[in-house]
Amino acid sequence: MATLKDYRMDIKPNWCPGCGDFSVLAAIQKVAVNLNIEAEDMAFISGIGCSGRISGYVNAYTMHTMHGRALATAQGVKLANPDLHVICAGGDGDGFGIGLNHFAHAARRNVDLTYIVMDNQIYGLTKGQMSPTSPQGMETKSSPGGNPEQPINPLQMALASGSSFIAQAFSGDVKQLMSLIEQGMQHKGFAFINVFSPCVTFNKVLTYEYFKKNLVNLDEKEGYDPSNRAMAFNMVEETGSMFTGLLYKQERKTLTESLPKGSGTNMLTRDTFILDDIMKEKLISRYV
Amino acid sequence: MATLKDYRMDIKPNWCPGCGDFSVLAAIQKVAVNLNIEAEDMAFISGIGCSGRISGYVNAYTMHTMHGRALATAQGVKLANPDLHVICAGGDGDGFGIGLNHFAHAARRNVDLTYIVMDNQIYGLTKGQMSPTSPQGMETKSSPGGNPEQPINPLQMALASGSSFIAQAFSGDVKQLMSLIEQGMQHKGFAFINVFSPCVTFNKVLTYEYFKKNLVNLDEKEGYDPSNRAMAFNMVEETGSMFTGLLYKQERKTLTESLPKGSGTNMLTRDTFILDDIMKEKLISRYV
Amino acid sequence: MEELTIVIGGEQGEGIESVGEILTKVLSQKGFNLYGFRNFSSRIKGGHSDFNLRVSSGREIYVNAERANLLIAFDQATIDLYKDQMAANSIILYDSKSVNPNNFADLPEDALIIEAPFQQLALECGNSIMKNMVAIGMICGLNQHSPMEFKDVIKDRFSKKGIKIVEMNIEAFEKGHDFVKEKGLYSIPLVPVTDSRKMFLSGNEAMVIGAVAAGCRFMAGYPITPASEILENLIKIMPEYGGIVVQAEDELCSVAMAIGASFAGTRAMTATSGPGVSLMQEAVGLSGAVEIPLVIIDTQRGGPSSGLATKMEQSDLTAMLGGTHGEIPRIIISPSTIQEAMYDMGTAFNLAEQYQCPVFIAADLVLATSKQSTEILDTRKFEMDRGKRVTDEDLLLQEAKVFDRFAFTEDYISPRTIPGQKYGTHHATGIEHGETGHPTEDPINRKKMMIKRMEKINSVTIGEDIKVEGVAEDILIIGFGSTYGAIKEACEQFQASGIKAGLAHLRLLHPFPAKQLERLVSMARQVIVVENNYSGQLANVIKQHVQDHAKIQKLTKFDGTLFKPSDILTFSKELV
Amino acid sequence: MEELTIVIGGEQGEGIESVGEILTKVLSQKGFNLYGFRNFSSRIKGGHSDFNLRVSSGREIYVNAERANLLIAFDQATIDLYKDQMAANSIILYDSKSVNPNNFADLPEDALIIEAPFQQLALECGNSIMKNMVAIGMICGLNQHSPMEFKDVIKDRFSKKGIKIVEMNIEAFEKGHDFVKEKGLYSIPLVPVTDSRKMFLSGNEAMVIGAVAAGCRFMAGYPITPASEILENLIKIMPEYGGIVVQAEDELCSVAMAIGASFAGTRAMTATSGPGVSLMQEAVGLSGAVEIPLVIIDTQRGGPSSGLATKMEQSDLTAMLGGTHGEIPRIIISPSTIQEAMYDMGTAFNLAEQYQCPVFIAADLVLATSKQSTEILDTRKFEMDRGKRVTDEDLLLQEAKVFDRFAFTEDYISPRTIPGQKYGTHHATGIEHGETGHPTEDPINRKKMMIKRMEKINSVTIGEDIKVEGVAEDILIIGFGSTYGAIKEACEQFQASGIKAGLAHLRLLHPFPAKQLERLVSMARQVIVVENNYSGQLANVIKQHVQDHAKIQKLTKFDGTLFKPSDILTFSKELV
Ligand SMILES: Cc1ncc(C[n+]2csc(CCOP(=O)(O)OP(=O)(O)O)c2C)c(N)n1
Ligand SMILES: Cc1ncc(C[n+]2csc(CCOP(=O)(O)OP(=O)(O)O)c2C)c(N)n1
Ligand code: SF4
Ligand code: SF4
Ligand SMILES: [Mg+2]
Ligand SMILES: [Mg+2]
């Protein structure tokens, strides 16, 4: 039986008091326990940013990688050992700025892992520059005259890329956050959860209050069908992305299931190996 | 008066006979003449691939950059000199594989340029590996057991990223191709034109015949409204992307128009300059 | 006193930065020469931070002093870090709310240690956050400055926040001032100065000023410590000068945007640090291959990988020298003072256009973030040389359909045209190409093109390629970047003790000024190469060019801390 | 005859490749030692291409001969390229449909020049495309091989396309064979051989076999010339061995995927060339910092930027040595023969796991794409050493909550656990970290960690770190990679003329076997460093380690063409 203690570390996160990322950390740990995943069976891969530090606060096999490359790394982990529960996490800059390409391709590839973005619409760790999700017009250290660019839309991006599970949560509502992470982890395939996780230090616009006031709960919305791509696309348009809940879910083959027969059956993660004579002859047959 | 002769080079393209890219080359040259753009006022930036060689076959200010980075470079060109007509072009691997991130961000940034992808659903120059738009199951040099991955959807990607002009054309229909390129070049903002441009050497599935048989012409479809995002999204779903024509068009501010006042008014592309005393005092005022 | 060092330390978020800003503003206006460095850790709030300010009534200074005269400790870490670094008869003020006097065992006996109620006095004025103003008041009192100038600066700083806030801060300042006055505390006053007008700014700020003065009108960047300030400052001011700054989605884009803008004729740059340099390697190669000017600032920080993002290192030298695949011409300039950082931007943009290749500014964290007093910007030092540009008139005379953009010439530099120029159209490709720019695999052309590209930079000089000081008969100390201050003072101390020491600070790292350095090395008995990295990257480059390996000793530091003059003295003694 | 060189050239798409494959299949089965290299240009169809095959009845060969005995020209370029490279009494067959005999002025006088109707004979069999089969028939006849074996291989090759196609191709073969027989043409026959079973394969193919045999079970790649074949071959066969190969969206992803798979415990690799190496620099740094094994093949090609993608170069050495920002441990192995390419994969994966760091295989275009006869794979040379892995039992005994993954040990190598192992959980971060893996900025820890990481590789050896041949009293020739064959034959020619020449071929490029090389250099009168790049990258590294600069001469070539033994002889003579 996994317990919360297993997942906890003796390290105090170096986040600012009140940072939204605390909730995400707690939620992940609790869900892992709820799902009874042993710490050693979890691989937690994160990017670079305030949010990216999260993997260092969880006792599991954790890796803090490069800015924008967490998903690339996490796919490698999962492919090498499908028995691991792989969580990948990072910030909005990490995932939708420098790392957007891997996001789109991981989504279409449908590797079975859970990708959580702590979207604070700002670059936290580098102290307050605009991020690809900063609203147009927002003043930041790198947009003193207001952000001149229209922000990226992570949810429509995910939809267009073929992500098979898309949800959005809010650090201020830990219950729903936990529920969505749990669903994501149980989903077979690429599960993407965008979490509004306020940066209390550098984002004075998209605050807890702002989200509390503006978010619509999709999970409680009647008639909404999360298996309908068109409906999902429109819902994002209509709400201006200001919702929480499960946006879209589809069952389709994971990459591992689509690979040629035999693939992944002998990954030698822990064994040693020597080629036997039959396999050897097969290997060299084209060259003799 | 610009003439076709101005745009032509004495160099024989090193494309295979029958390659779809010939049509794209011819179309661009003709449209430039139609729009009466002088060769010296055109900057043509391309990526790496068979398609990427296109800029070397046009007499203009042309640059053949890096694999995946054509759009990044092209944005720099346009921002530095808004008087230039900037065309950017490349392949499906170049644009939707390694270069997808810049595609999405250039689209939302809405820099005023025309981006043409010669989408042959294969890696041509490297001799026939699968590309991000290769259909699932397609056999290629790098997917001998059939492509295990669901392809990327460039049109929905463009839509999700906020591209303000999205069209699709076919090398086999030069008239429509020219018309769409012309519209794209006249569009104020980021114009994306995906061109089905068959690779006769390595793609034996998505051939001229295949496209001729399967493509629907959106421009002739009654009731289709290219200003409606939701409609555009659905149209891609319904046709499985097998259409040509203008998918979506929106008028919105370009990046240059959104930048703080004064931006871009003195880019010194050709002049020399020395700081006058008033500007100097202003510059150092924070530090004295 | 001629010199004084003040240190104030506490947790990040306790307003240490503001103390530094106000203090330095006043002292700079009064004409003192200053050097300030802020130690910080890579977390947003919490974590220790301190500001170390050296004030001189006389000469310019380029490094912090090894010992502090006045220490203000908001946290225990300040005491722990500085207890061994106090000067004789120093004064230490601490806040007992957050510092435990039981741990003062190792503090120097001659120090005056005073419990000061920073927090409490601030609270009395309405908010504990103002304890930094209390500290400023105390410093003002201790150093016997007149409070007027301080109050003016404080007023200025808070005026935007309303009269109430201004008054509260002034009150906090006064409480601090009164506290030391009442206790009769003071340090020996600084000799007053009557010096000319000065600027006081960081290397990052100096490079921003330099870029604007040099006519740079396009910058694309991506935030990264410690280079972000360059992006932030440029974004703020560039519109006033008619230029454009873009925050790109990543470094792959920012550097490519700069290349594009440069192709279009604008002086363009990017600025980054370690990880960004790695990501830019491919584009650096393109710039070299297509001979498009490009200026890249690398504010080196602790590597490898994410490394020590807020700590000092000079470990990207090999990456700048040979990080891209294949071989290209490139120029690497290393400023060693804030003033050089400012003017080097002019040099860099001129060289980039003259030689049509990438130019790195090899800065480092200390240079980027420390602040120095420096002369007022001299705009005459920024004459723009745009290189071999062809005039519209000449093009009309030639009337060639395809311009020979990559023509072979005697000095290996080809004439350049800019989009918009009639008869100047051409193709620029990273594939090997002929004179018109179009691809060719012909081996003879290839050889000529490689030689053209690689040898054109042989004539590069930035004037003082090596900054030489002293007569290095006994000891020659070699370095680059911000270690200059420590090396300079080490030399002075050697000389004071009768040793003939001199320094050779590399200002041009590539093309390497081998001949000059070889001569210097040959004339010295002992050579020490001082650098902030593990493997002695500069020393290794020197060994490629200078035969006399046995003489060359490496003194490296790679733990994130800075060189002190005494480190060099100690090392040299151990050698003998 | 003991040796013979056959060249067939024409436009790309004219079936040159098939000629090579069929010819080498037969000759390899007959026991000859072969070396084949295909010249090609970077366009898909059209553009000249030729296949140069050297056949030996005796010793193994590692380079093409400088002169051809038999030349078959489908295009004019073949004549132009080879006219100065014909051996005495050679035979030249050309197709007058595409070659103009008026341009034969410079052909050697003793050559037998024959107009041969390749295309016409093929047309008679139904399709001009079969002119390559006609050519094979002629070669078979000229060299007096029995047609049987050829026909068998041709049948095999076309059997999938149906009996009709097989028959047509056989007929074309026979027409060619008859043509030379009827004319009474023949060359001196090769001495027959009775050698053991052999493989004939390219370096890329050898590395694929080596990777599978070494237990590599994950590869992520991105197509690039000339490394794509590695990806393509591995994707084809890996499922049979239970592994996974992914074509990623770019090199940033492929290398990160490999790091992820390696973190999970699988032996993982990627393969790329120049531009990909540049893009991977940041990840290489991560691998070094987090001490996760990683194997990267770099099949170096003509740089910089897009450069000469289908031409030979060895110009990524500095990029591999120091291209990432900051400083990491890394190992660079350079295979110089196809056989070494195969077994080096075993070494690379073992070292990567033993030393927990990135390992580069510094291959080059010629090594990757040329084919050599080589011994049959010996699986016993692939014993897996997985390094300091901790057993489940030991972990249960320790029962620590956080495993000290980065523990300081005597040999600087820390014990490693793999996801799934109870009590082995830990954090891996590119930020500087302590023994548990969690970030710390403590300078003392930092220093220890840097030393641990950087010095652990000092004990690396691959057995024969430098391949030494001959006694280099007069001349020592140093090189790396595929230039081995040319250097070897140059040495033999020196020796034949009484000069005491020897070679030192670097097999381990980093950590650099400085001591051994220094000894070799000191014993030779003259030292020539031969390499395919502009700046003499290897020579520069040597100069970092070896004092005697004056003795070290650079012989470089950077025009895309290959070194011939005579280049080295000429250079050496000019030196004296
Ligand atoms: C290649 C590279 N470029 C830049 C950086 C600097 N950097 C670190 S975190 C970060 C962005 C942080 O923003 P986000 O991803 O939104 O995370 P947050 O801190 O807001 O949680 C940047 C630009 C880096 N580490 N690596
Ligand atoms: C960084 C980098 N990686 C890989 C390559 C090799 N490469 C050249 S073109 C290409 C893909 C070509 O496919 P696409 O973009 O679809 O263009 P096409 O040739 O099909 O027109 C690749 C992988 C490269 N040049 N640079
Ligand atoms: S800066 Fe923002 S994102 Fe970073 S820890 Fe503080 S509150 Fe959280
Ligand atoms: S390989 Fe394909 S894409 Fe390339 S030139 Fe030939 S037909 Fe066109
Ligand atoms: Mg963020
Ligand atoms: Mg393509």
Give the C-alpha separation, B57 to D457, whole Å.
50
Position B234 in a domain: yes
Alpha carbon D5 to chain centroid, angstroms:
21
The interface pTM score, or ipTM, of the predicted complex is: 0.97
Which residues does residue C68 pair with via DSSP β-bridges, in sequence order? C86
Q: Residue A64's pLDDT is what?
A: 98
CA nearest D512: which of D558, D466, D566?
D466
Q: Nearest-CA neighbor of D288 among D456, D511, D453?
A: D453
Q: Which residues pair with C475 in a beta bridge?
A: C501, C526
What residues contact D519, with CB distance under 8 A and at least 6 apart? Answer: none
pLDDT tens digits along C258-291: 999 999 999 999 999 999 999 999 999 999 999 9
CA distance D258 to chain C (A): 17
Q: What is the pTM of this model?
A: 0.97
Q: How many domains does chain B have?
A: 1
pLDDT in tens, A111-168: 999 999 999 999 999 999 999 999 999 999 999 999 999 999 999 999 999 999 999 9
With beta carbons less than 8 A apart as the criterion, state whether D315 and C285 touch.
Answer: no
d(CA C260, CA D540): 34
Residue C356: count of CB within 10 angstroms of its CB? 27
C-alpha A16 to ligand 3 mean position (Å): 5
| Residue B281 lies inside a defined structural domain of this protein | no
The percentage of chain D sitting over the pLDDT mark of 70, rounded to a whole number, equals: 99
* Neighbouring residues of A8: CB distance < 8 A, sequence distance ≥ 6: A29, A59
Specify the pLDDT at position D399: 79
Q: Judge contact between C291 and C284, C-beta under 8 A.
A: no
Instruction: Give the pLDDT band (50/70/90) at residue C187.
Output: confident
Give the span between the Cα atoms of B31 and B169, in whole angstroms.
14
Averaged pLDDT, D470-494? 97
Query: Is the model's pLDDT at D104 over the cut of 70?
Result: yes
Predicted confidence band of residue C496 (pLDDT cuts 50, 70, 90) = very high
What's the gap in Å between the CA of B126 and the closest CA on chain D? 6
Q: How far is CA D524 from the centre of its chain?
A: 29
Q: In 3D, which of A44, A270, A59, A60 has the Cα closest to residue D262?
A: A270
Vertex C149, ends C145 and C150: CA angle to 5°? 80
Arithmetic mean of pLDDT over chain C: 95
pLDDT beneath 70: ranges in chain B: none
Dihedral over Cα of B153, B159, B164, B170: its sign: positive
Q: Please tell me the distance from the alpha carbon of residue D367 to that of residue D34, in angstroms, as a whole number.
A: 14
Q: How far does CA D61 lie from the centroid of its chain?
A: 14
pLDDT for C576 equals 65
- Lowest mean pLDDT of A174-188, D140-154, D472-486, name the range: D140-154
> Is residue A117 one of the residues assigned to a domain?
yes
DSSP per residue, D9-61: EEETTSSHHHHHHHHHHHHHHTT-EEEEEEE--SSSSSSEEEEEEEEESSS--
Tokens standing for C7? 């240190």
pLDDT of residue D103: 80
Pocket of ligand 2 (CB under 6 A): B 48-51, 67, 90-94, 118, 120, 122-126, 131, 199; D 222-224, 251, 275-276, 279, 306
Class of domain C466-575: alpha beta
Q: How far is A104 from chain C (nearest CA, A)?
A: 15
- Identify the CATH number of the domain in which residue A185 sits: 3.40.50.970
Query: Looking at the DSSP assignment, which residues form a beta bridge with residue D428?
Result: A63
- The answer, for C101 touching chain A at a CB cutoff of 8 Å, is no
Q: Is the CB of C318 less than 8 angstroms away from the CB of D323?
A: yes
Q: Rounded to 10 degrees, what is the CA torsion of B238, B240, B246, B251?
A: 70
Per-residue pLDDT at D177 = 96
Q: Cα(A24)–Cα(A4) distance, rounded to whole angstroms?
A: 14
User: Which two structure tokens, joined as six digits, stand for D343?
Assistant: 């077994």
Q: What SS3 class is residue A194?
A: strand
Residue C42's pLDDT is 67
In tens, the pLDDT along D386-411 reads 999 999 999 999 878 889 999 999 99
Cα–Cα nearest to D39, from D47, D49, D26, D31: D49
Name the CA dihedral angle for D392, D397, D403, D408, rounded to a multiple of 10 degrees: -110
CA atoms of D110 and D88, how far apart (whole Å): 7
HSE-CB at D515 with a 13 A cutoff on CA atoms is 2
Fold type of domain D3-182 = Pyruvate-ferredoxin Oxidoreductase; domain 3 (3.40.920)
Ligand 3 pocket, A201 CB below 6 A?
yes
Task: Write out the residue range of the structural domain in which residue B19 sits.
Answer: 4-256
Tell how far the Cα of A154 is from the centroid of ligand 5, in angstroms: 13
Given a cut of 90, is residue C13 above it in pLDDT? no
Phi, psi (rounded to 5 degrees) for A134: -60, 135
Q: What is the pLDDT of residue D187?
A: 81
Dihedral of alpha carbons B92, B98, B103, B106, sign? negative
Q: Which ligand is nearest to the CA of A20?
A: 3
Q: Say how many C-beta atoms besides its own lie within 10 A of residue B31's C-beta.
A: 23
- Strand A191-196 with A114-119, pairing: parallel
Q: How far is the CA of D11 from the centre of ligand 4 (A)?
A: 16
**Which three-class secondary structure state does DSSP give residue B151?**
coil
Q: Note the pLDDT of residue D195.
A: 67
Does the residue B265 lie in any domain? no
| Spatial CA neighbour of B20 closest among B214, B176, B170 | B170
E strand intervals along D415-474:
426-429, 466-470
pLDDT band at residue C402, thresholds of 50, 70 and 90?
Answer: confident
Number of helices and strands (H, E) in chain B?
A: 11, 8
**Tokens 């051994």 found at:** D516
- Name which of C28, C249, C427 is nearest B105 (Cβ-Cβ): C249
Q: Please check the confidence at residue C310 and state whether its pLDDT lies above 80.
A: yes
Verify whether the Cβ–Cβ distance A100 to B104 is below 8 Å.
Answer: yes
Return the domain boundaries, chain C. Answer: 3-182, 200-381, 466-575
From the list A24, A6, A115, the residue with the least C-alpha distance to A60 is: A6
Instruction: Show Cβ contacts of residue A68 under 8 Å, excluding neighbours closer than 6 positions.
Output: A47, A48, A94, A95, A97, A98, A99, A102, C250, D252
Q: What's the pLDDT at A135? A: 98
Mean per-residue pLDDT, C482-499: 97
Q: Which of A267, A275, A288 sits opposite D197 (nearest CB)?
A: A288
What φ, ψ does residue C502 adopt, rounded to 5°?
Answer: -145, 165
3-state SS class at C336: coil
**Between vectors from CA C76 to CA C70 and to CA C77, what angle results, nearest 5°?**
80
Q: Which chains lie within 8 Å of chain B at 3 or more CB pairs, if any? A: A, C, D
Domain C200-381 has CATH 3.40.50.970: yes
Domains C3-182 and C466-575 share a fold: no
Chain A contact for D293 (CB, 8 A cutoff): no
D499-553 residue pLDDT tens: 999 999 999 999 999 999 999 999 999 999 999 999 999 999 999 999 999 999 9
Q: For the CA atoms of B169, B173, B174, B175, what is the dihedral angle to 10 degrees? A: -90
Instruction: Note if the bond before D101 is cis, omega within 30 degrees.
Output: no
User: What is the reported pLDDT for D42?
Assistant: 67
Which residues lie closer than 8 Å to D429 by C-beta, 6 or more apart?
A56, A63, A64, C306, D289, D290, D437, D438, D439
Q: What is B171-238 written as a DSSP string?
A: TT-HHHHHHHHHHHHHSSS-EEEEEE---TTT-SSS-HHHHHHH-EEGGG-TT--TT-HHHHHHHHHH
- Residue B8 belongs to some domain of the structure: yes
Ligand 4 geometric centre to CA of D44 (Å): 7
Torsional sign, CA D343, D345, D348, D351 = negative
CA gap A131, A123 in Å, rounded: 6
Whose C-alpha lies nearest to ligand 3, atom 8? A19
Q: What is the pLDDT of residue D401?
A: 80
- Residue C399's pLDDT is 79
SS3 content of chain A, % helix, strand, coil (to 5): 40, 15, 45
CB pairs under 8 A between B and C: 223
Query: Which residues, listed in sequence order, are joined to residue C439 by a DSSP beta bridge?
Result: C433
Q: Which residues of C495-511 are buried (b: 16+ CB within 10 A; e: fewer)?
A: beeeebbbbbbbbbbbb
Residue B6 has a CB neighbour count (10 Å cut-off) of 20
Q: If we measure between CA atoms, which residue out of C575, C383, C566, C431 comes closest to residue C491?
A: C566
- CA atoms lying within 13 Å on the CB side of residue B28: 30
Over the stretch A23-66, which tens digit does the pLDDT of each residue have? 999 999 999 999 999 999 999 999 999 999 999 999 999 999 99
Per DSSP, A164 falls in state: S
Q: Is the C-beta atom of A126 inside 6 A of ligand 1?
A: yes
- Per-residue pLDDT band for C507 (boundaries 50, 70, 90) equals very high
Which ligand approaches the C-alpha of residue A126 most closely? 1
Q: What is the pLDDT of residue C195?
A: 67
Instruction: Give dist(CA D109, CA D86) in Å, integer.
Output: 10
Residue A104 has pLDDT above 70, yes or no: yes
Radius of gyration for the alpha carbons in chain C, expressed in angstroms and rounded: 26
